[in-house]
Amino acid sequence: MTAPESPGEGQTDSAALTDKVAIVTGGASGLGRAMALALGKAGARVVVADLDAQAGREVADLVGGTFRACDVSDLDANRALVDFAQQQYGGVDIALLNAGVATGCGVGDDFDPARYRRAMGANLDGVVYGTHAVLPALRARGGGSIVATSSLAGLTAVPLDPLYAANKHAVVGLARSLGPALAPDNVRFNAVCPGFAESRIIDSLRDMLTAQGLPVIPAEVVADTVLRILTGDGTGECWFVQPDREPEPFRFRTVPGPGRSAAA
């Protein structure tokens, strides 16, 4: 019998995800919905987490999974989400920490502390709290995989939305740092960094994108990239996703070391 060919570049070994238990935050719409659907198609058992109960349940029904309401900016809610997944399926193998919101303000005259805290709570606290909550469950399975949704805004300057860039840069920093830190536990931590992709976050930008002729990345392309990350073996990587380019880990420059006098 001839052995099946292994997936090539740009392909996903979906069989590796069969029967894996996955949590997807922000799973009711946009990128999270596409991720949940892709996982379900690959045979994973999916817990869809979101504040939008109606849309979340619809996605859960589509993938034969379950829904759990969750405010990711609340640590106890993250813990309850993981407990729910363990009760439903006996454990957790994958966490896609995807929930996020637009900032809605800057740091000048338009600064709004409530909007700022809402954005930081969803985009950064949601990743930190989600990681903290799921780690014991992943360790209990002998390891697992976490993928956090960052953004191209986490890899470059964004003068029009510096606060969004700040929390997305923080997610990139977490991925680069937690990748090697969690490796001894056999837990892989990576980030996906899409450009302008189909989601609610770009609703206020659609007219500008259309006027400038900038294409919007289909959510399914981002979801496929996440599956490639899940079925790969890398950790601490931040994969960019841009139109008409093959997604791949971003190559960070090495920071300068000490000068000669300091080394001496």
- List active site positions: 164
Percent helix, strand and coil across the chain, each to the nearest 5:
50, 15, 35
- For the residues of 48-101, what is the DSSP string, one character each? EEES-HHHHHHHHHHHT-EEEE--TT-HHHHHHHHHHHHHHHS---EEEE----
Half-sphere exposure of 181 (CA within 13 A, CB side): 11
124: which residues sit within 8 A by CB, 6+ positions away? 167, 170, 171
Residue 21 near residue 45 (C-beta atoms within 8 A): yes
